[in-house]
Structure 1
Amino acid sequence: MPKPLIVITGASSGIGAATARLLSSRGHPLLLLARRLDRLEALGLPDTLCRKVDVTDRAAVEAAVREAEERYGPVDLLVNNAGAMLLGRIADQPVDEWERMLDINVKGLLYATRAVLPGMVERGAGTIVNIGSVAGRKTFPNHAAYVGTKFAVHAMSENLREEVAATGVRVVTVAPGAVETELLSHTSDERIKTDYQAWKHVTVREIVLASTGQES
């Protein structure tokens, strides 16, 4: 029996690419979305539709999902991984960096969720995994705008989980700390980037498990 379709945003590198490789190895067809199409295609994964899509373009996200569903069937899992981490001080950080993070981390997540959620609710099954951050649980120096977007991800995820719990749809938030990805490379402040490198070490801080239908 064919395995169901999985959609991964921000799949061209880091967590998104690693997730794509793993799930493809388990036999799932994939829809991979990112702005760098060449990086998606270089993954060389079977039964995979790669599309150059910026998650801030709601129509493009919707169109890609519909195309993938026509080929592989309904989306069973969405991994909202696309994100931007542009660190800086509110007093002098370029304002366009705030806007880019809000567009990708908040609105982009909502657009991708909207593209798959109605079908999941109708079928009474499906999973949405939102990649948040430890910065969605506590604050850090030079992270104010980024923290704001990730607190929003965590809050929206929990609220959505409550909304759809009774339908059988699952909502999961993953909150990584410092991870070896390309995210930091886009920060324009070199001193902040240097300081960030000292944080990298891994531990699992908390795991919360509950039945899908448990709203609270």
Structure 2
Amino acid sequence: MGIAVVTGSASGIGRACARRLAADGFEVRGLDLAEPGVGGAGPCTRFDVTDEPAWEELARELGEGDAPVTALVTSAGILRFGSVTSCSLDDFRLVHEVNVVGTFLALKHVLPLMAKGGAGSAITISSVAGLVAKPNQLAYVAGKWGIRGMTKAAAQDMTGTGVRVNSVHPGPVRTEMTEGLPDDVFARQPIRRRADSWEVAGMVSFLAGPDSAYCTGAEFVVDGGHVLQG
């Protein structure tokens, strides 16, 4: 199956994805700011996704190895609340550094490794907030829409390489990051509950594997019908 690079692998969706891909037979390389070895599956390296020299070093290391890199999951992300009038510039910049720049650097440095091998699947973790706007989440919404657009542009850039790039858009998920969200965020969904991380990981598993070979530049929604609320 090759190597799967998973950012944010120490908790939440990233940890579930790391475990699922390891079960699928990938050699998982987890990256997270949390202490090495916390959560995930396989090695979890302390890593700042906004640090380009760190990505350059990782790409050199992976490129010199024997196993091909065949999957990438960009799950590292943060949430800061704030409206267009109350969001601080510091929070706006921080959210974009981690969520958007971190995703960009992952794609920039890992996709060429996949292209060199002639095959691979990159899965960016966006959100339903990248499909419909949410109040009091200006920075997060802007970032997740950015990831959505970046995914489509990257898919086009990878034309002819054998590399696919798709985005996953979870609705409310039971993770450490979303503990502060009220339960009414899913009260009007057709499926009236939060998702568990493993349900998102199932979609990621599909996109990382051969059954999704004809999918690229697309959005895959795991939200219990959340976007139907508008």
TM-score normalized by the length of structure 2: 0.77
Q: Is the Cα contact below 8 Å between 2:130 and 2:144 reproduced in 1?
A: yes
State the secondary structure of the residue aligned to 2:135.
coil
The letter for the 1-side match of 2:20 is L
State the secondary structure of the residue aligned to 2:21.
helix
The letter for the 2-side match of 1:36 is A
RMSD, matched Cα: 2.6
Q: Which runs of 5+ in 2 are unaligned?
A: 187-192, 200-211, 219-230
Deviations 1:66-122 (A, max 9, x none): 334545522110001111111212222232111111101111101111111112223
CA 1:182/1:65 → structure 2, altered by over 3 Å: closer, same or farther? farther
CA 1:115/1:109 → structure 2, altered by over 3 Å: closer, same or farther? same
Q: Is the Cα contact below 8 Å between 1:4 and 1:74 reproduced in 2?
A: yes
Inter-partner Cα distance in structure 1 for 2:64 and 2:6: 17
CA 1:98/1:87 → structure 2, altered by over 3 Å: closer, same or farther? same
Q: 1:5 aligns with which of 3, 27, 34?
A: 3
- 1:211 matched to 2:217: no
TM-score normalized by the length of structure 1: 0.81
Deviations 1:152-174 (A, max 9, x none): 10011011112213322111110
Q: Is the Cα contact below 8 Å between 1:10 and 1:81 reproduced in 2?
A: yes
CA 1:107/1:13 → structure 2, altered by over 3 Å: closer, same or farther? same
Inter-partner Cα distance in structure 2 for 1:141 and 1:44: 32
Q: Which runs of 5+ in 1 are unaligned?
A: 186-192
Q: Is the Cα contact below 8 Å between 1:166 and 1:213 reproduced in 2?
A: no
**Aligned positions of 1:73-84 closer than 5 A:** 73-84=67-78
Deviations 1:35-88 (A, max 9, x none): 0124xx13374xx33211110111112323433454552211000111111121
The letter for the 1-side match of 2:38 is A
